Structure formats: C-alpha cells, structure tokens
Amino acid sequence: MNKYMERIYNGIWKENPIFVQMIGLCPTLAVTTSAINGVGMGLSTTVVLVLANILIAALRKIIPDSVRLPAEIVVVASFVTIVDMLMEGFTPDLYESLGIYIPLIVVNCIILGRAEAYAMKNNAVLSAFDGIGMGIGFTIALILIGAFRELIGAGMIFGVQIMPASYVPVSIFILAPGAFFILAILTAVQNKLKMPSATNGSVKKKKKAGGCSGDCLSCAGHDAAKAE
C-alpha cells in the first residue's frame, strides 16, 4: 500500500472521524434523517475538506504561525460559501432539506481539525488524499446512521420500501431523539466489540490548540472540567 492509499484507508477505517474520533457530531445528528441527506452532507463536506486541505497545504509556508487559525477559518469559510452557492443553484431540494447546516460546515471540527493536524504539516497532494479519505469516512458514517434511522423510522432506505407493508414505522427515530439513540447504540456496539473509539478511551487523546481539533467528547471541555 503506497502512502497515498494509506491516507485513504486511514480516513475511512483507522481514524474514521465519526466512529473513532467522534468529531463533527452536530451535522451527524442533525441531517441524518434519511440516507440521501447523509450522502448530500457527506459529499459537500468532502468537497470543502479536500479543497481546504489543498489550499492550506499549499500556503502552509506562507501563513505566519501567529495568524494560523484565522487564516484557516477564512480559507474554509470561502470554500463553504462556494459550495453553498453551487448547491443552491444545482440541487435546490437538497439545499432546502440541509438548510442551515450547509453554512455550518465552517465550524465542523473535522475540517479545522484536519487543517491543523495534517494540512499544515504535509504537501498539497498528500493533504488532498487525506481530505478524500476523511471525507469518504465521514460520508460512510453519515449514510450508515441515516440508513438506520430511515429504516426504523420510515421502513425505507434511499426512499425504497424495505420493510414489509405490515411494519409500523417508529417515527421517533426520524425525529430528534432518534439521532441520539442510534448514535448511542452504534457506540455501544463499538464498546462491546472493543473497537477503537474515543468513547472507550482506547484512542490516544491528542492535545492540540484550537478548541475542537482533538476529539469532541474529550476536547477542551474535559480539561476545563478538570481545571475546576
């Protein structure tokens, strides 16, 4: 496996942003009412992630260390604005159903986290592959959560009826509480199988500057709680 494929494998499996690192939970829970929404959110985040990684990696020697974070935020916000406008023009239905969560890609921990942890230290090509890997990993996780919620909550996957007609959908699962329950169950399964995950402490916690660039559940919040 060469180093480019290794990056992709890393993003999809070894350091999957949702299941292993538990970052970027806001869009994960909010938009996964159906599998197709998961695809839309995952792909738009991937596009932003790849483009931002490339540009930040290309500019990494020019950006002074002291204004690193604001510079990264401007780069990310610009690409998010472009994606936002493109989606409004070409996929109006998806744009409508994802709503405010498209501009909120800016504050998605995954993107700033990758910029900080990877793109600032590596060249543009490697960073692009890193972005693709992380993006695909994120998309797969969203589709998985969305598919479960759609299956239990509406008896369908991608709008195709799966459950027999006699199945009564548990509609709570496509409402807000269902998102919490599905993620709880998926992380519980990971705990049970002792798979690597930030939730059971088997992933080494990295301490980094910038609020959320580590994993969400043990991010600066926990340090703040300890400081009390």
Partner 1 sequence: MKELLVIAISSALVSNVVLSQFLGICSFVGVSKKVETAAGMGGAVIFVITIASIVASLIYDFILGPLGLDYLNTIVFILVIAALVQLVEMFLHKCMVSLYNALGVYLPLITTNCAVLGVALTNVQSGYGFVQSVINGVGTAIGYTIAIILLAGIREHTEGNDIPYSFQGSPIVLVTAGLMAIAFFGFSGLL
Q: Which stretch binds partner 1 (CB under 8 A): 8-16, 58-66, 76-84, 141-149?
A: 76-84
Tell which one of 84, 116, 130, 150 touches partner 1 (CB under 8 A). 84
219 binds partner 1 (CB under 8 A): yes
Q: Does 222 bind partner 1 (CB under 8 A)?
A: yes
Q: Tell me: does residue 196 bind partner 1 (CB under 8 A).
A: no
User: DSSP code of 157?
Assistant: E
Query: Cα separation of 219 and 224, whole Å?
Result: 9
Give the count of residues interacting with partner 1 (CB under 8 A).
57
Question: Judged by CB, which is closer to partner 1: 78, or 97?
Answer: 78
> Whole-angstrom Cα distance, residue 18 to residue 94?
22
Within residues 27-66, the interface with partner 1 by CB under 8 A covers: 27, 29-30
From candidates 6, 13, 25, 144, binder to partner 1 by CB under 8 A: 25
* Residue 97 or 199 with smaller CB distance to partner 1: 199
Query: What residues are paired with 157 via a beta bridge?
Result: 160
Say which residue the tokens 């793109």 belong to. Answer: 119
Q: Closest approach of Cβ 161 to partner 1, in Å?
A: 26
How far apart are alpha carbons 18 and 39 in whole angstroms? 15
Angle of helix 124-154 relative to helix 35-58, nearest 10 degrees? Answer: 170
d(CA 16, CA 22): 8
Q: How far is the CB of 69 from partner 1 (least distance, A)?
A: 8
Half-sphere exposure at residue 15, Cβ-oriented, CA atoms within 13 angstroms: 22
CA atoms of 198 and 160, how far apart (whole Å): 34
Q: Which is nearer to partner 1, 164 or 201 (CB)?
A: 201
The amino acid sitting at 143 is: I
Considering only 22, 52, 56, 126, the residue that binds partner 1 (CB under 8 A) is 22
- The answer to whether 150 and 142 are in contact (CB under 8 A) is no
Enclosing H/E stretch for 156: strand 156-157
* 144 in contact with partner 1 (CB under 8 A): no
Residues that bind partner 1 (CB under 8 A): 22, 25-27, 29-30, 69-70, 73-74, 77-78, 80-81, 84-85, 100, 103-104, 106-109, 112, 172, 175-181, 183-185, 187-189, 191-192, 199-201, 210-212, 216-222, 224-225, 227-228
